[in-house]
Amino acid sequence: MDENKQQTEEVEQEEVVENPEQEVVEEEANEMDEVAKLQQEKDETYQRLLRLQADYDNFRRRTQKDRENDRKYKSQSLIEELLPALDNFERALQVEAQDEKYAEGMNMVYKQLKSALEKEGLEEIPAVGEEFDPHMHQAVMQVEDENYESNVVVEELQKGYKLNDRVIRPSMVKVNQ
């Protein structure tokens, strides 16, 4: 649209400029100058308007994208703070309790916590038995294990997590050579 308009205006301006050469009255020439000048100023203002409109549109689009992104990962900082507590919760639950009823209560609390986090988009990264993936797994050790194929995760030392599609903590793993 922008280009077409500019072409149209150029054609019009040429005609305005050519006109005075046909008639020799000076006053008329002055007025034609004024017309040309005004036309030019009007065009310039219009071009500024178009540029500003384009800037505005771009800003609006970018802002919307940024805000969608913000929303998608808004809980990341809190979840990152909570993961060590979640790790410890899991470790604490693995201790064999002499008080089964108490342990059962704690297990329910853990599940409730975990499910609130999952609802927000938290997901455990699969590890043991998976092919080693440097985007998901952090290899802290290489081992030789006949039970697994080469380059496969044989043990998980710390759980990894994704928030929606973003890895927020890779799994710490042992990988088969």
CA angle 162, 169, 123 (to 5 degrees): 25
Q: At which residue do the structure tokens 């100023």 appear?
A: 41
Give 33 or 149: the residue with its C-beta nearer to a copy of itself: 33
Roughly what angle, to the nearest 10 degrees, separates helices 100-119 and 76-94? 160
Minimum CB separation of residue 103 from a copy of itself in Å reads: 7
**What is the Cα Rg of the chain in Å?**
34
- Does 28 sit near a copy of itself (CB under 8 A)? yes
- Does 106 sit near a copy of itself (CB under 8 A)? yes
Per rule CB under 8 A, count of chain residues that contact a copy of itself: 63
Structure tokens at 24: 């020799």
- Does 31 sit near a copy of itself (CB under 8 A)? yes
**Binder of a copy of itself out of 10, 60, 61, 149 (CB under 8 A):** 60
Helix (H, G, I), strand (E, B) or coil at 162: strand
* DSSP letters spanning 49-85: HHHHHHHHHHHHHHHHHHHHHHHHTTTHHHHHHHHHH
Interface residues with a copy of itself (CB under 8 A)? 1-2, 5, 8-9, 12, 15-16, 23-24, 28, 31-32, 34-35, 38-39, 41-42, 45-46, 48-49, 52-53, 55-56, 59-60, 63, 66-67, 70-71, 74-75, 77-79, 81-82, 84-85, 88-89, 92, 95, 97-99, 101-103, 105-106, 108-109, 112-113, 116-117, 119-120
